[in-house]
Structure formats: C-alpha cells, structure tokens
Structure 1
Amino acid sequence: MDIPRQAVSFLTSRGLKLATAESCTAGYIASLISSVPGSGACLDVGFVTYSPTGKAGFLGVRKETMEQHGLTSEEVAREMAEGALQQEACCADVAVSNTGVADAAPGGGPPPGTQCFAWSYRSRDGEIVTFSETKKFEGERNDVRRAAALYALSRVEHYFDLRYAR
C-alpha cells in the first residue's frame, strides 16, 4: 500500500490542500507527500517547529498548553494543526500535525516511540474541526519517525470521513 500516493489521490480528488505542522517528524510528512508526482496540487505549506518557541511563535501553541500537558501531548498536537490552518498565508483545508519522542527523552518523560497526532479540517464557512490520537511505535529513531509520518498520512481520509459524517 503506497500511503503517500493514496493521500495525494484523496486530497486532489476532492480539491483539498494540505498543511503540515511537524515536530518529531521534522518535515517527513511533507517530504512523503512531495515525493508523489502531482503533489503540488494538494500540498500548501509545511511547518517544522521542533522547539517550544517555534511551536508558540509560528503556530500559536500556548505556553500554558505546553507546560500543563507537555510537548508530547494531543493538546499540543491539536494547537499545532489548528495553528497551521489559522496562519494568514495558509490556504489549506486540512492540516496534520505530529509531536513526540523518537527515542528516550532526557530526564524521563513519555516512553520512546510515543507520538501524538492531530488532523484539523476547515469547512467552507471557516469552522475548524480537529481530531487527535496518541500512538506508540517501535524501532530505532528514524524507523519511528518514518512510521509516524506514514501513519499521519494514512488517517487523513479517515478523519475527513468522520468530519463529514457528523
């Protein structure tokens, strides 16, 4: 199953544009999409916000959210995805975000491989609906990053369908 190709096909068939807001995957999601011929029709913008200041400054993630829930949290992932869609120059209808730990975090924290995701969808009237989940992946650092990027793309259509089934 070619997940990036399926995601591009799904997005282009519906005339949707995608924004990515990535931390742990550091651009891997956008890279996978852009590897598919014709992806220019559906990829709008990608943000790599590895640091807390980047998350806050570029995506509007609130400091309180990061302090209260931690960087590896669905709450932060949700604010990242919603923040991407709210950027003035962003014309995407869909945003996917990722934040997590690929290997052991210094000083404890979430288990290695813990990844938090969010998928935000903007309707024609401007309403944004967001879904999120946490998943744990096994393997070496870059195996976790690749698995997380593929997983993020694999759920774009699923949550789109849920969004419009409501």
Structure 2
Amino acid sequence: MELLDRITDYLVDNELKLATAESCTAGLIVSELARVPGSGQSIDCGLGVYSPQSKHRYLGVSFDTIDRYGLTSEAVACEMASGALNNNDADVALANTGIAGPNPGDDDTPIGTVCFAWAFRENGRHHHFSETRRFDGTRNEVRLAAAHYALERLPHYHRLSIDAFL
C-alpha cells in the first residue's frame, strides 16, 4: 500500500486528475489506486480497452498505427494515452498495452512484455513519455507488476514534463 499511498499523495499535492487507458491491465491501475481512501478526488476515469476496435473507438488509436507497429507497441500506447487525455477531464493519462499471458502475442511478442505511455497536459500543451518493460510471473502477477510500475513512474515523468514546459 505504500506505493499507492505515495502516488495518491503525489496526485493530490500536485492537483492532478488521472485517466487511464488500460489494455493489458484491464483497469487494474485505477482499481489499485482506488484502494486508497481519498484517491477518488484525483481519478477522472479508467478505461479498459482490449480490442483494436475499442482502442480506435474510445481513444482514437489509428488502425494504421496498429498495423504498422503492432498492438503491443509504444506507438499504440502513446496514442492510447493521448486519447485518454483528450477525451476526458484529466491532467495526466497512463496507458498500457501488452501480453500478460498465457500465450505470446500474435506477432510472437514474448509473454510479460508491456508498453507504457504517460501523457501530461499543462496550459493546453501535451507532453508524452513511453517505455517498454518485461515482467516475469503468471498472468495476474504480470498485470499487477505492470499496474504498479505505471503508477511508480508517474512522478518521474511528471517532473520531466514540468521541466519540458518551462
């Protein structure tokens, strides 16, 4: 709970409102954060978007991006984060897409591969960050590790975005 308390405090202290666009974690990021009393004031929404069609419909992810880079890609994660930021009342959006298991992706992406994106809005401008990580464990261990990792990295990328906006 220490991580979740720390991230909730960070969101509250920085007056940030969070939206998530989650494929691999299917809402686990926002669900984990919601375990903390008082976190609701910093959560706008959590979207679970598994299929390419839902990524396109709800977040505006381009089918061309999916075809070119694959569903498990930083390009898709970035478009997911942008869509979550643009379509909601949030200052920060976290997105992920990946392969939790039990089988590798259609393009042989290894189990445990998760692509993340963090998007921030400040005075009408956006800043994006992305990275790919690989987690070990069972399907649900990968999902939980990915959810916690996305939250853990939020303060780091927020500080970088503040520097970029200055």
Runs of 5+ consecutive residues of structure 1 not aligned to the other structure: none
Residue of structure 1 equivalent to 2:25: 25
Secondary structure at the counterpart of residue 108 of structure 2 = coil
2:154 to 128, 152, 156: 156
Secondary structure at the counterpart of residue 15 of structure 2 = coil
Assess if the C-alpha contact under 8 Å between 2:99 and 2:105 holds in 1.
no
> Please, which moves more after superposition, 26-35 or 103-112?
103-112
Residue of structure 1 equivalent to 2:90: 92
CA RMSD of aligned residues (A): 1.1
Secondary structure at the counterpart of residue 147 of structure 2 = helix
Residue of structure 2 equivalent to 1:78: 78
Runs of 5+ consecutive residues of structure 2 not aligned to the other structure: none
Provide closer, same or farther for how the CA distance between residues 57 and 30 of structure 1 changes in structure 2, counting only shifts above 3 A.
Answer: same
2-side partners of 1:107 and 1:60: how far apart?
Answer: 22
1:107 Cα offset (Å): 4.4
Residue of structure 2 equivalent to 1:115: 114
5 Å-filtered alignment, 1:1-166, equals 2-87=2-87, 90-103=88-101, 104-105=103-104, 107-124=106-123, 126-166=124-164
| Structure 1 runs of 4+ with >4 Å offset | none
How high is the TM-score relative to the length of structure 1? 0.95
2-side partners of 1:144 and 1:54: how far apart?
Answer: 22
1:43 Cα offset (Å): 0.4
Q: % of aligned pairs identical? A: 50
2-side partners of 1:66 and 1:106: how far apart?
Answer: 13
2-side partners of 1:106 and 1:38: how far apart?
Answer: 37
1-side partners of 2:30 and 2:85: how far apart?
Answer: 15
The residue type equivalent to 2:77 in the other structure is A
Secondary structure at the counterpart of residue 41 of structure 1 = helix
Question: What are the Cα deviations for residues 7-65 of structure 1, in whole angstroms up to 9, with x where unaligned?
Answer: 11000001110000000100000001111000111000111100000000000000000
1:105 Cα offset (Å): 2.4
1-side partners of 2:140 and 2:66: how far apart?
Answer: 24
2-side partners of 1:33 and 1:69: how far apart?
Answer: 30
